[in-house]
């Protein structure tokens, strides 16, 4: 089912921020905003929920720490105990200070790699996926705001022109 969206193009991020606030104050739903660079505060202005990727990063770090502890205990204590530098290999606790760098590295490794994979999956960005930006100027120096419309195209277009939009288009979105 096709629906209509109004696309407003801006050439300044400050004008875009003010426009987003005005559109939200007028109770219109902003579908998406395309920008050539991150705009600080845009997510809050759009009313987006805070991300939970930091929580997942912590969980992934805990998984990495657990894997490091289990791996080092099995390899260095149970499977193949060795006397390296006069350190006894009777228990994991006695050798833990020597294992701290490995625990740190695997914690960071798991957190970083799994967080990147989670970000790509959550953003629906996989290899060979075509770009979804509706206007190629958004990758260079313009900002685009898409607003879903339901029979009120002229009202929304007039509001967007008042907010400082350089160009306003009505498009069919599939």
Q: How far apart are CA 79 and CA 87, in angstroms?
A: 16
Q: How far apart are CA 113 and CA 115, in angstroms?
A: 5
Strands (E), the chain: 3-10, 30-34, 143-149, 167-173
DSSP 45-64: HHTPPPP-HHHHHHHHHHHH
Please report the pLDDT score of residue 1 as a whole number. Answer: 46
Checking if the pLDDT of 31 tops 70, the result is: yes
pLDDT of 9-25, one tens digit each?
999 999 999 999 999 99
Global pTM reads 0.70
Res. 2 pLDDT band, cuts 50 70 90: low
Question: Which residues fall within 8 angstroms of residue 30, CB to CB, at 6 or more apart?
Answer: 20, 23, 24, 46, 145, 146, 147
pLDDT of 77-107, one tens digit each?
888 877 777 766 677 777 788 889 999 999 9
């Amino acid at each position: 089912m096709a629906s209509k969206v109004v696309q407003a193009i801006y050439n300044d991020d400050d004008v875009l921020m003010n426009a987003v606030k005005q559109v939200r104050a007028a109770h219109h739903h902003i579908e998406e905003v395309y920008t050539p660079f991150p705009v600080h505060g845009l997510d809050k202005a759009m009313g987006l929920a805070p991300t939970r990727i930091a929580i997942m990063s912590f969980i992934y770090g805990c998984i990495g720490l657990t894997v490091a502890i289990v791996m080092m205990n099995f390899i260095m204590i149970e499977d193949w105990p060795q006397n390296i530098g006069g350190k006894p290999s009777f228990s994991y606790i006695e050798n833990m200070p020597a294992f701290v760098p490995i625990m740190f590295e695997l914690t960071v490794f798991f957190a970083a790699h799994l967080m990147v994979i989670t970000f790509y999956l959550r953003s629906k960005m996989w290899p060979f996926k075509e770009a979804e930006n509706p206007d190629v100027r958004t990758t260079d120096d313009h900002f685009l705001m898409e607003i879903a419309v339901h029979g009120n195209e002229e009202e929304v277009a007039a509001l967007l022109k008042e907010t400082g939009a350089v160009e306003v288009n009505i498009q069919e979105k599939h």
